[in-house]
Structure 1
Amino acid sequence: MTVKEIAAQVEALAPLHHAEDFDNVGLLVGRPDMEVTGVLVTLDTLEAVVDEAIARGCNLILSFHPILFKGLKRLTGKTYVERVVARALENQIAIYSIHTALDNVPGGVNGALCQALGIQDPSILIPKKQGIKKLVTYVPKAHTPTLLDALFAAGAGSLGHYSQCSFRLEGEGSFLPSVAANPALGTPGTLQREPEDQLHLTFTADREASVLAALFRTHPYEEVAYEVTTLENDYNHLGMGMIGSLEAPLGPEAFLEHLKQVLGTPCIRHSALPETPVQRVAVLGGSGAFAIEAAKAAGADAFVTGDVKYHQFFQAEGKLLIADVGHYETEQFTKRLLCDYLSEKIPNFAISLSETKTNPVNYF
Structure 2
Amino acid sequence: MKIKDILSVLEQMAPLAYAEDFDNVGLLTGNASDEATGVLVCHDALETVINEAITKNCNLIVCFHPILFSGLKKITGKNYVERSIIKAIKNDIAIYAVHTALDNHKNGVNKIFCDVLGLTNTKILIPKENYIRKLVTYTIPENLEKLRNALFDAGAGNIGNYENCSFNSQGLGTYQGNENSNPEIGIPGEFVEAKEIKIEVTFEKHLEAKILKALFNNHVYEEVAYEIYSLNNTHQNIGLGMTGELEEPMDETAFLNFVKEKMDANGIRHSAFTGKKIKKVAVLGGSGSFAIKSAIAAGADAFLTADLKYHQFYEAEGKLLLADIGHFESERYTKNYIVDYLTKKIPNFAFILSEENTNPVKYL
Report the TM-score when normalising by structure 1: 0.98
| 2:129 aligned with 1:129 | yes
Match of 2:39 in 1: 39
The superposition leaves residues 157-185 of structure 1 with CA deviations (integer Å, 9 ceiling, x where unpaired) of: 11221011111111111111111223333
Match of 2:112 in 1: 112
SS of the residue aligned with 2:323?
A: strand
SS of the residue aligned with 2:65?
A: coil
Contact 1:60 1:95 in 2 (8 A): yes
SS of the residue aligned with 1:64?
A: strand
- Post-superposition, which runs of at least 4 consecutive aligned residues in structure 1 deviate over 6 A? none
Match of 1:158 in 2: 158
SS of the residue aligned with 1:292?
A: helix
SS of the residue aligned with 2:55?
A: helix
Match of 1:359 in 2: 359
Distance 1:327 1:56 in 2: 28
Match of 2:28 in 1: 28
Distance 1:170 1:266 in 2: 63
Alignment of 1:208-357 (within 5 A): 208-357=208-357
Match of 1:75 in 2: 75
Distance 1:3 1:22 in 2: 26
Letter in structure 1 aligned against 2:95: I
| 2:190 aligned with 1:194 | no
Letter in structure 2 aligned against 1:207: L
Match of 1:143 in 2: 143
SS of the residue aligned with 1:24?
A: coil
SS of the residue aligned with 1:208?
A: helix
Query: Any unmatched runs of 5+ in structure 2?
Result: none
Distance 2:160 2:206 in 1: 14
Number of aligned residues: 364
Distance 2:322 2:243 in 1: 14
Distance 1:220 1:32 in 2: 38
Contact 1:159 1:204 in 2 (8 A): no
Percent of pairs identical after alignment?
53
Letter in structure 2 aligned against 1:209: A
Distance 1:115 1:294 in 2: 21
Match of 2:97 in 1: 97
Report the TM-score when normalising by structure 2: 0.98
Distance 2:156 2:72 in 1: 39
SS of the residue aligned with 2:355?
A: coil
Distance 1:79 1:178 in 2: 66
Report the more deviating stretch, 179-188 or 316-325: 179-188
Letter in structure 2 aligned against 1:358: T
Cα offset, 1:274, TM superposition:
1.4
Letter in structure 2 aligned against 1:101: A
Match of 1:174 in 2: 174
